[in-house]
């Protein structure tokens, strides 16, 4: 994992994906659905974001998946560095926060 400076600039697609995860869409397919980006863009971007330390991934517990009779999924969450980078990205791309509002913003 490579640490990146908080003010690292993200592309628009990467910022959208980071915002989608931050907004609670924690699976790759969920990110695809809310951003409208194809799988060939979303998953490579997830790898890059994880490699740069902006997000972290974890496998779902096997027992939960077994209970629902489906394979376990890998989910993502925004790291502290990713959060700082996302806040910097909001200034560059103010619309993404409105397009994919975080749960707190949605409540307001």
Three-class secondary structure of residue 81 per DSSP: helix
Here the tokens at position 21 are 């995860």
Q: Give 52 or 97: the residue with its C-beta nearer to another protein.
A: 52
Q: Provide the pairing of β-strand 55-59 with 74-78.
A: antiparallel
- Write down the least CB distance from residue 28 to another protein, Å: 5
Cβ atoms < 10 Å from Cβ of 94 = 9
38 lies in the binding site for another protein (CB under 8 A): yes
Least distance to another protein, CB of residue 88, Å: 24
| Shortest distance in whole angstroms from residue 97 CB to another protein | 26
Distances (CA, A) of 20 to 61, 64, 65: 22, 23, 23
Among 4, 6, 8, 27, binds another protein (CB under 8 A): 27
77 sits near another protein (criterion: CB under 8 A): no
- Which is closer to another protein, CB of 50 or CB of 83? 50
Q: Would you say 49 and 82 are in contact if contact means Cβ atoms under 8 Å apart?
A: yes
Which residues form the interface with another protein (CB under 8 A)?
A: 27-29, 32, 38-44, 47, 51, 70-74
């Amino acid at each position: 994992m490579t640490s990146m400076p908080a003010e690292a600039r993200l592309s628009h697609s990467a910022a959208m994906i980071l915002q989608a995860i931050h907004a609670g869409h924690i699976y790759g397919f969920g990110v695809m659905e809310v951003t409208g980006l194809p799988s060939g863009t979303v998953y490579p971007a997830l790898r890059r974001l994880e490699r740069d330390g902006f997000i972290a991934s974890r496998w779902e517990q096997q027992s939960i998946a077994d209970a629902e009779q489906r394979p376990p999924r890998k989910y993502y969450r925004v790291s502290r560095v990713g959060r700082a980078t996302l806040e910097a990205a909001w200034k560059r791309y103010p619309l993404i926060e409105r397009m994919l509002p975080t749960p707190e913003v949605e409540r307001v």
